[in-house]
Structure 1
Amino acid sequence: MYEAPRILKVQDNIVKVIASQIRKGNVVEIDNQLLVVLKAESFFPGKGTPTTQIDMRRLSDGVKTVQRYRTTEQVERAFIETKPYTYLYEDAHGFAFMNMESYEQVSVPADVIGDQSVYLAESMECQISLYNGVPVAIELPARVVLEVTETEPVTKGQTASSSYKPATLSNGQRTTVPPHISAGTRVVVMTEDGSYVERAKD
């Protein structure tokens, strides 16, 4: 079966990739406009053509748009640099980070981080993607440790296999935890969706 070339260099910082390879945080070029990918999802129906839906935001003016492609259709992706940065603080301009090797500081706008900003903690190392020095995407550590500040008390006879119960975490976020977890317990949660992973080992 013939497969189209996956990556074809077209100019210094633009490559062509198939739509199904596009991921959140990538920067694509459409009609000479640069857009950052907010979400990319591929659909494989039983019948018909597989498609990839890409939610994007234009870098020039912040306008959001949604495009749908055939999964094998080619999209122009801009090459962006990704480096580790350490979180410092939040101010009126956004979230300040520093590269610990070069001491270069960048300010990441709130809409680039989105809902994950509640998981930022001082000195946390994140991967920031820059295009021409402008932060366009950020990747937080996949998991963080937080304390359960409020949840229903442990009921005698409940086991770990019982249904989960609501809980509030030390960053104010709500999640669900196993019945044996009580307030004051430190737990590991996923930064992507705030879901409970396990009791913290420390």
Structure 2
Amino acid sequence: MGINQVKVGLTIDLDGTPFMVVNVEHVKPGKGSAFVRTKLKSLKNDAVLDRTYKSDDKIEEAFIEERNLQYSYHSGDFYHFIDSESYEDLAIEKNKLRATEKFLKDDLEVAALYYKGELIAVNLPNFVVYTITHTEPGIKGDTAKSGTKPATLESGAVVQVPLFIDVGTRIKVDTRTGEYIERAV
């Protein structure tokens, strides 16, 4: 593929490793040939690279297979998922989850990304609703703007929540950043 086909969201193969194009800038200088500046994020380890491609460079597209999995349970360093299509039990090592395991809860649907038959990443939904299992009790008069306190979710993760949130409250959390978003209904 030529450099004029590079766009944000495209996955490319760079030295046998799949990368996603995060940012792209097509440059046509007044003198000389056109080139493309890209920012690439590794799908294996989240490393970010800046690469510049000349007009005659060829880029190889990486074909990523996405499979829907449902979280089941974990034992030791392995987390078990059920493939939504084949109902096969898959055991995935903790290091493949890249610190997202703290947001896994029973029956959570996740997307597993495969490249050349190898699992490279597990992506959680961006926003998930959790129930608070432990937090300090709120005090009368607490408002959303007066501060935050730590709260433990049903998955075991600890997030900062407003002072008025109590045990049993359902909240929406951004799994990419671990931040409280809002109370859920």
Is 1:170 the counterpart of 2:169? The answer is no
Equivalents in 2 of 1:41, 1:166: separation in Å? Answer: 33
**Any unmatched runs of 5+ in structure 1?**
7-16
Match of 2:85, SS? coil
* Structure 2 partner of 1:179: 163
CA distance in 2, matches of 1:126, 1:72: 37
Aligned length: 173
TM-score normalized by the length of structure 1: 0.66
Mark the CA change 1:169 to 1:104 in structure 2 (over 3 Å): closer, same or farther: closer
In the aligned structure 2, how far is the partner of 1:52 from the partner of 1:95?
Answer: 35
> Could you tell me how far 1:117 is from its partner in structure 2?
0.9
Separation in 2, partners of 1:118, 1:183: 19
Residue in structure 2 matched with residue 56 of structure 1 by the alignment: 42
Alpha-carbon distance in structure 1 between the residues aligned to 2:43 and 2:68: 23
SS at match of 1:115: coil
Query: 1:84 — aligned with what?
Result: 68
Q: Deviations over 1:116-158 (max 9, x none)?
A: 1111123222111222332112221222222323334323323
CA-based RMSD of the aligned residues comes to: 3.5
Q: Structure 2 length as normaliser, TM-score?
A: 0.71
Q: How far off its partner does 1:75 sit? A: 4.5
What do residues 16-42 of structure 1 show as CA deviations (whole Å, max 9, x unaligned)? x35x545xxx5x423xx42244x8754
CA distance in 2, matches of 1:93, 1:177: 29
Partner of residue 85, structure 2:
101
Which residues of structure 2 form unaligned runs of 5+?
26-34
